Structure 1
Amino acid sequence: MELDSLWVKRDDLTSQLYGGNKLRKLEFILADAKRKGYDSVMTRGGIGSNFCVANATICNKLGLLPVAALVDQPINPIVKKNLLINLYYKNELYYIRKGSRAKWLKLWLNLKKRNIYYMLTPGGSVPLGTLGYVNAELELKNQIDKNNIPEPDYIFVACGSAGTVAGLALGLKLAEIKAKIIAVQVSLFIGYEGTVKLAYDTRDMMFKFDKSVPEVKIDNIIFETDYFGEGYAKPTDEGLAAMELIKKTQKMELESTYTGKTLAALIGFANQKHNSIKEKTILFWNTFNSRDFSEILKKMKYKDFLKIFTGFSKNELVAPDVNFIRKI
């Protein structure tokens, strides 16, 4: 791979508490929770969900109680680490057994009806959370205007729950930047149409508060589906190779669920279109958290924690009745 102008947007360093794309969404969402007087914030995701960990981390800082409804996903070291961080921050967890999505939805709807918790969708991908990435794109515009970075022709970013991509797409239009977003599929949660709709919904929300927000046409997203592999959180050979390459050359850590697959797509794109894009500016948007939790993890008694769960080696979780987690 040879490119004349390849850049990285280091969202892994967005906060001293927790890096990655989650913080930009939570900035507006948790402010809304505080404004409305909630003292508990509930989200949902896989057992290794980075968003659930980010929510727990920031809720702890803001004096809010974090709550999460978790479903199965393939076990890897990051999943285990995130479960330990959840334990440290006293994240109140509901565990929904594999194949029990109907129970998950029933729990979610019942709790929402009771109005106990401020309820977050997976990844915080609602217009209010997506606003964080409109803001991020305007931040990039400011960096371009200051000549910190040339205006990109292509932006590569992971697309899971779609809030990041939708916000960037809208932000590009508002900032009048002509770049195309290569949205790399990493989950089955949402597709192209849902991503575009979220961008328009976010624009409409902004217009309610500021009538000067112009109408835009969201036509700057290219959905890349060839690097998804066998499923969510399942590593691919290309993704692992990309992670190793950037670690070796740039001393930068990625992970296999989101950013590894995204960088693999960038490499594949560059190799395939070598002659036509060699002189283009490409931006890799790093959405991973690179903040170090080693001191927190040292405080956790891993053997005690493992007593809560069995079946890690079988990629299943079976939880006994303990206070830390509620079975469903």
Structure 2
Amino acid sequence: MSSFKQQPRLIISHQPTPLEQAPRLSAKLGINLLFKRDDCTGLAGGGNKIRKLEYLLADAQQQGADTLVTIGGLQSNHARQTAAAAAKFGFNCELVLQDVPGTPRVDYLTNGNMFLHELLGVTVYQVPVKEDCHQYANSLVARLQQQGKRPYLIPIGGSNAVGSLGYLRCALELIEQLDEQALKIDQLVVATGSAGTQAGLLAGLIIAGVDIPVLGITVSRPGSEQEQLVLTLLQQILQRLGLDPALANGKVHANGDYYGASYGVVTQDSLNAITTTAQTEGILLDPVYTGKAMAGLIDLCQRGIIAKGSTQLFLHTGGSQALPAYISAFN
């Protein structure tokens, strides 16, 4: 634990985020459902990436960086939060954003997070679908260095062993909240994509010695591929903290049945899940991550795979700012 506490961090987010009951949705699903509201982290509308950015920006400061560079889809919540954090701490910010085939054309290119990127005053490079966005970002970093700037490259979703420490901290925060409220949960359900949120949560639970199963509902790839991605990152986090990477064995579980055609492309079940959650709890989910994760949770409850009467915690990772980009999908 001492090694974790020594990791440099900037305080950006509102913490702790609320842990709240969802009584009407619980009744509909036949379970006791709790929400961990990481859509309420604050900066530029909040979301889970801010926890990661607390460690990434501290690392960028230590390295003397003056420009943040990151990668994502055009409607990337991570890119919005990176842009906002850059504004707050005086970094320049350059976003390498790739179009996503199969998404709505009417609002996707200009509304939602794309509008917010513009509002936050960052430079956006729109990369065509067939171009390698990682290669583009590496070339951009080299160009910035040639111009005398000091760029710091943040991976997709802020998901490396540094950024994931934000979700290690979140797991410890959650354990404390559960203890304070005398709550016991049977499972934690989370949307999983770039892997840092799920891997960080598992690292925190391992460090705390708390055995809560974490089910990742994948948003972009089959479950087996996602499990390997999360496992590799979890092992890297443990190694960074001087712990045995073998502690990760048997901890990673992901379900790949609900992501649909691809990342960023909505499914009818995810649209239904967003609508149901809004109309029962007044909570806004997003089309890319939490909508698909909630669709999975609902289906697993309806099929009896998640036991009736069990207590499930849904980690709301944010992203409702992207909803206006998907208006035509709802219509």
TM-score by length of 1: 0.81
Aligned to 1:267: 298
Query: Structure 1 CA distance, aligned partners of 2:128 and 2:204?
Result: 39
Query: Structure 2 CA distance, aligned partners of 1:292 and 1:110?
Result: 28
Aligned to 2:136: 107
Shift of 1:192: 1.1
Query: Structure 2 CA distance, aligned partners of 1:41 and 1:16?
Result: 17
- Higher RCO (CA 8 Å, separation ≥ 6 residues): 1
Shift of 1:94: 1.6
**Corresponding position: 1:243 with 2:274:** yes
Shift of 1:111: 3.8
Q: Pick from 228, 234, 239: which aligns with 1:193?
A: 228
Q: Is the 8 A contact 2:221 2:259 kept in 1?
A: no
Query: Structure 2 CA distance, aligned partners of 1:224 and 1:293?
Result: 24
Please tell me whether Structure 1 or Structure 2 has the larger radius of gyration of its CA atoms. 1
Q: Percent identity, please.
A: 31
Query: Structure 1 CA distance, aligned partners of 2:232 and 2:123?
Result: 32
Shift of 1:216: 2.0
Q: Pick from 76, 83, 99: which aligns with 1:56?
A: 83
Three-state SS of the structure 2 residue aligned to 1:142 is helix
Query: Structure 2 CA distance, aligned partners of 1:164 and 1:66?
Result: 23
Shift of 1:197: 1.0
Q: Which amino acid letter does the alignment assign opposite residue 45 of structure 2?
A: Y
Q: Pick from 243, 248, 257: which aligns with 1:226?
A: 257
Q: 1:140 to 1:199 in 2, by over 3 A?
A: same
Answer with 197-206 or 106-115: which moved more.
106-115
Shift of 1:113: 4.7
Q: Is the 8 A contact 1:19 1:290 kept in 2?
A: no
Three-state SS of the structure 1 residue aligned to 2:254 is strand
**Corresponding position: 1:171 with 2:223:** no
Q: Pick from 311, 315, 320: which aligns with 1:281?
A: 311
Q: Which amino acid letter does the alignment assign opposite residue 162 of structure 1?
A: A
TM-score by length of 2: 0.80
Three-state SS of the structure 1 residue aligned to 2:293 is helix
**Corresponding position: 1:40 with 2:40:** no
Aligned to 1:135: 169
Aligned to 1:2: 29
Q: Which amino acid letter does the alignment assign opposite residue 69 of structure 2?
A: M
Shift of 1:290: 5.2
Q: Is the 8 A contact 2:164 2:199 kept in 1?
A: yes
Query: Structure 1 CA distance, aligned partners of 2:128 and 2:320?
Result: 30
Q: How many residues align?
A: 287
Q: Deviations over 1:97-117 (max 9, x none)?
A: 22122xx34332334456441
**Corresponding position: 1:65 with 2:92:** yes
Aligned to 1:180: 213
Q: 1:188 to 1:246 in 2, by over 3 A?
A: same
Q: 1:228 to 1:54 in 2, by over 3 A?
A: same
Q: CA RMSD in A?
A: 2.5
Three-state SS of the structure 2 residue aligned to 1:43 is strand
Q: Deviations over 1:58-107 (max 9, x none)?
A: 11011111111111112464662211111111111122222122xx3433
Q: Deviations over 1:3-29 (max 9, x none)?
A: 342100000001254311110100110
Aligned to 1:162: 195
Q: Is the 8 A contact 2:43 2:84 kept in 1?
A: no
Query: Structure 1 CA distance, aligned partners of 2:73 and 2:298?
Result: 28
Q: Deviations over 1:166-209 (max 9, x none)?
A: 111111222222221111110139621111110110111122xx
Aligned to 1:153: 186
Q: 1:229 to 1:106 in 2, by over 3 A?
A: closer
Query: Structure 2 CA distance, aligned partners of 1:65 and 1:263?
Result: 35
Q: 1:227 to 1:4 in 2, by over 3 A?
A: closer
Q: Is the 8 A contact 1:27 1:132 kept in 2?
A: yes
